[in-house]
Copies of this chain bind each other. A is one copy, B any other.
Amino acid sequence: MADDTAVDALGEGDATPTESVTIYDVAKLAGVNPSTVSRALNRPGRVNAVTERRIRAAAETLNYQVNPMARALPTGRTSIVGLVVSDITNPVFFDVIRGAEAAATSAGYTLVLTESEESDEREYERAQRMLRMVDGLLLATPRMSDEQITALARQKPVAVVNRLVDDVLSVVPDVQHGIAEAVRHLRSHGHSRIAYVPGPALSWMARRRGELLAQRCEWAHIELVTLEPVAPTVVGGRSAAVAVRDSGATAVFAYNDLIAIGLMQELVETGIRIPADISVVGFDDIFGADFTSPALTTVKSPLREGGDHAMAALLARVTGDEVPGDGFDLATTLVVRGSTGPAAR
């Protein structure tokens, strides 16, 4: 069953390296000097219209493509931007990646991606290594220290999404807004005592969400029971189920959707009904948050926009343009689905 072999390696295409055509080839064909080709192709208008046309035609027939490496050498600019995420398989990053990719591509930049697999060491190391070949670096929810980030930012333009770092271009969604909505939503359903399952203690975002939630609950005269932090995963969520049940709360906030989903799974398996017995609210609105039943009510983060804006801001700094101000609409919003309802009595 040849069709089912795992690998079919056929060497027919003998690597024919297609001797790459250079501006010299184009120049010869067009009967001009290489530098004129460079000018014609890069800054239209600074070359006689008819010669330019001739050059473009030559480039066309030869199927000329610039060599980005060769260009980068004299200019120092590579037209590559880097994106560092801590975990490629974490759905929270999907939209950030996509937003960043879109912004980069539309600005003529190529996106280089790397992940740190949740290790702060590896993160710094890879970011540092990447720095050599990029014009700018975007860090998504970085794990490394403020000092490390600042060190990177001293070498090349750097921007950060989902975290605030002093003296570094930071794009942070307005978490406050969504939390306020969520608290209001729960209060209007009669919840007066709610539990919070925090995420990793050293995550900037985890701390921030916890603080704002506490603040908001106090403001709304709602009692908030903060439980032990857990890993920001489905498994972490499951592990918090007992504590949640014992907390006596009628609703629970999870640091993120993964925790919320794990929590729901475990609670349901323990015979607890959602939302009849306990309401559950997550954070992020990741892919799959609506696969559960009941579907998860969650505070949606504008991840794609975050990635997009951060990249745009980064590129603005790279090209020396004015960095766009904060006229963005990066508010988080509550997405109400089936996992929340009236407080159990």
Contact = CB atoms under 8 A, between A and B. Distances in A.
Interface of A: 1, 3-13, 15-18, 65-70, 72-73, 78, 80, 88-89, 91, 94-95, 97-98, 101, 105, 110-115, 126, 128-130, 132-133, 150, 153-158, 164, 166-176, 261, 268, 287-288, 291-293, 309, 313, 317, 323-326, 328-330
A111 B114 contact: yes
Contacts of A114: 101, 105, 110-111
Given A5-B326, A69-B69, A88-B98, 17 more contacts: A4-B175, A4-B176, A6-B309, A6-B330, A7-B309, A7-B328, A8-B172, A11-B323, A12-B166, A13-B153, A17-B155, A18-B154, A69-B73, A73-B73, A91-B288, A111-B114, A112-B112
Given A7-B325, A70-B73, A292-B293, A13 B154 contact: yes
Contact of A10 (B16, B69, B166): B166
A176 to B, nearest CB: 5
A73 B6 CA distance: 36
Per assembly, the copies of the chain total 2
Contact of A69 (B65, B72, B97, B129): B72
Contacts of A7: 169-171, 309, 313, 323-326, 328
A317 to B, nearest CB: 8
B130 A110 contact: yes
A8 B101 contact: no
Given A7-B171, A70-B73, A133 B155 contact: no
29 contacts: A4-B174, A5-B172, A6-B171, A6-B172, A6-B309, A7-B169, A7-B313, A7-B323, A7-B324, A9-B313, A10-B167, A10-B169, A12-B166, A12-B167, A13-B167, A13-B168, A16-B154, A18-B154, A18-B156, A69-B133, A88-B94, A89-B94, A89-B95, A94-B94, A101-B113, A101-B114, A110-B112, A261-B291, A288-B288
